Amino acid sequence: MSDEHGISRRTFIARGAAAGGAVVLAGAAGTALSACSSSSGGSSTSTTAAGGKPGVGTGTPVQGGSLTVGLLSEIDGFYPPQNHWDTSGYIYAQCLYDPLVAIAADGSIQPYLAETCTPNSTFDSWTLTLRPNVKFNDGSDLTSTVVVNNFATLKASLLTGQALTQVVSCTSTGPLSVVYKLQAPNPGFVAGLATQVGYVFGQAMIDQYKAGNQNPTPVGTGPFIYQSWVPNNHFTATKNPNYWRAGLPYLDQITLRPIPDTIQRESTLRTGGVDMIGSTDPDTIHRFAGESGYEVIDSLNNTIGEVSMAFIMLNTVVAPTNDLRIRQALAKATNQTQIQKIFGGGFTQTVNGIFLSNSPYYSTTDFPTHDPAGAKKLVTEYKAEHGTPTIQLLTIPDPRLAQVVQIIQQMWSQVGFDVTISQIEQANLINDFIAGKFQAATSYQFGAVNPDLNYVWWSTTTAGPVGSIALNFARNSDPVIEQNMLTGRHTTDQAARVKAYQSVNQQLAKDLPYIWLQQYIFSEVASSRVQNWANPKLPNGMSGYAFDEGIFSPTQIWMSK
């Protein structure tokens, strides 16, 4: 399933879950089981292409040149406390800023702008030491004071403050030393600093904002310096000649162009208007894979941790979906294989939960297989007691999703449901999710480096009655899931973590708040001139997370001559 226009908002919700936003710092444990150098046990495999790995540069890096990237959507600004960074937003951010920590290829959290990050013995206090001699592009120094001021601004913001509720204080204990004190022990705290709240912006931006400038000029320590931005047209940044990572970046200039329509984006790549594009349409992979002159990388084989899933969300507290038989019937009536065949581009695999078969947390579950006869039986049983079950299936005005829900409507109708479809604007659908005013709705979510980061979406503490605000949108309040998530978050024993999350997945398959459809697929296509766009290296020499569901690093890209 592809989503051009809605991607920014939906992806923001997903990324909000993936801890930049509302989740990680609210207490999700993560890959950093001690300090910020432990491995999560996550794995990734790369696709191979004839002659080498796609996106991995060969030969000697070439200094100079300009890269133009076609993005799915536009950013709404560059000020982290105020603006929403979805997939496209993070690409902008990677050009201008650096995060305090970053995700490595093995899924662990590694220092980036911070040199070290060390917890105390009880994991409720974290000390970050910043790198010395790093300057912002306005010439000011990176100091602990700036980081503390960053934190204060983020904490005060309505948008990002929620993500920092567990952080009691952030104080400077030296020119380059910052201490975060937490409300409660959290072994995975630093994972959140790899997201929006961890990208460090200059004091000048804070000062400009306080002076009334709602769109402060970006000031960061990143590989590129902001030059110009025409919303919905282009963004241009030039090489930071004083970048603290010696020898980087290779490019002289990077230009980002939002091109919402997928076909037009692909056409622009083919005509040389851009050098790279992103896509959420599986057919993009079909159209470019194996074609000479282009390289393709996708999230099918390059995702660490949990992938984003497309699913139908069912409200477990409103009739008729509050009846487990109904949820079972809907799941049995849904032919996942057929949906994937039509909309998955032939790439996706059968899913029985939040973990794919190559995940260490994967296990078999009792997620219902396609069984229309079994579904009819359950519907008949329900009908005898309550009458024909009526379902309103909500979705956003996306052409591809409209096709999907029509097929699902047919599948459900054939087993006895009375199904109507409603298309609602993204913003209103989110409102309905938050307030629980829905029965069934399409969604995609749960992509996360670490399963801890999805705690808020499944916790009993975030469920609530219809009409109240609840981030556990499906209102599936299951103590078994809660207990296992807490175990997973707080234990340092990997085997125990795996067992706990397998139990979560198995319980979700029993409770059925979600009918899984397929993995959400991101892809990136680049002309063969673009080198090394999926092979980032972290400051400590480790390989970085190459392709975080659409996000790549521009720092080490070069253009071959």
Q: Which residues contribute to the site for other proteins (CB under 8 A)?
A: 5, 9, 12-13, 16-17, 21-22, 70, 76-77, 82-84, 158-163, 214-215, 230-233, 257-261, 263-265, 267-268, 270-271, 273, 425-428, 430-431, 434, 469, 471
CB atoms within 10 A of CB 244: 18
Contact by Cβ (8 Å): 544, 534? no
In whole angstroms, the minimum distance from the beta carbon of 77 to other proteins comes to 5
Contact by Cβ (8 Å): 334, 411? yes
Amino acid of residue 73: S
Q: How far apart are CA 190 and CA 213, in angstroms?
A: 31
Q: Which helix (H) or strand (E) holds 400?
A: helix 399-414
Nearest to 375 by CA among 408, 337, 332: 332
Contact by Cβ (8 Å): 251, 558? yes
In whole angstroms, the minimum distance from the beta carbon of 438 to other proteins comes to 14
Angle between helices 203-210 and 144-156 (to 10 degrees): 40
In whole angstroms, the minimum distance from the beta carbon of 233 to other proteins comes to 4
The smaller minimum CB distance to other proteins, of residues 223 and 447, is found at 447
The smaller minimum CB distance to other proteins, of residues 161 and 185, is found at 161
Q: How far apart are CA 476 and CA 316, in angstroms?
A: 6
Q: How far apart are CA 532 and CA 557, in angstroms?
A: 5
Contact by Cβ (8 Å): 67, 254? yes
In whole angstroms, the minimum distance from the beta carbon of 179 to other proteins comes to 26
In whole angstroms, the minimum distance from the beta carbon of 382 to other proteins comes to 31
The smaller minimum CB distance to other proteins, of residues 160 and 334, is found at 160
Contact by Cβ (8 Å): 279, 440? no
Beta strand spans in 248-367 (E): 253-258, 276-279, 294-298, 309-314
The smaller minimum CB distance to other proteins, of residues 430 and 500, is found at 430
In whole angstroms, the minimum distance from the beta carbon of 72 to other proteins comes to 11
In whole angstroms, the minimum distance from the beta carbon of 264 to other proteins comes to 5
Q: Quote the Cα angle for 151-236-549, to 5°.
A: 65
For residue 174, give both structure tokens: 């030296």
Alpha helices in 334-446 (DSSP H): 336-343, 372-386, 399-414, 426-435
The smaller minimum CB distance to other proteins, of residues 22 and 95, is found at 22
The smaller minimum CB distance to other proteins, of residues 61 and 273, is found at 273
CA dihedral 484, 486, 492, 494 (to 10 degrees): 20
Place of tokens 């397929």: 518
Contact by Cβ (8 Å): 362, 356? yes
In whole angstroms, the minimum distance from the beta carbon of 224 to other proteins comes to 20
In whole angstroms, the minimum distance from the beta carbon of 102 to other proteins comes to 23
Q: How far apart are CA 25 and CA 182, in angstroms?
A: 9
The smaller minimum CB distance to other proteins, of residues 123 and 235, is found at 235
Nearest to 195 by CA among 288, 75, 317, 109: 109
In whole angstroms, the minimum distance from the beta carbon of 75 to other proteins comes to 8
User: Please, which residues bridge with residue 257 across strands?
Assistant: 70
In whole angstroms, the minimum distance from the beta carbon of 473 to other proteins comes to 9
Contact by Cβ (8 Å): 336, 516? yes
The smaller minimum CB distance to other proteins, of residues 102 and 430, is found at 430
Q: Give the CA count within 13 Å in the CB-facing half-sphere of 552.
A: 30
The smaller minimum CB distance to other proteins, of residues 171 and 428, is found at 428
The smaller minimum CB distance to other proteins, of residues 5 and 510, is found at 5
The smaller minimum CB distance to other proteins, of residues 11 and 523, is found at 11
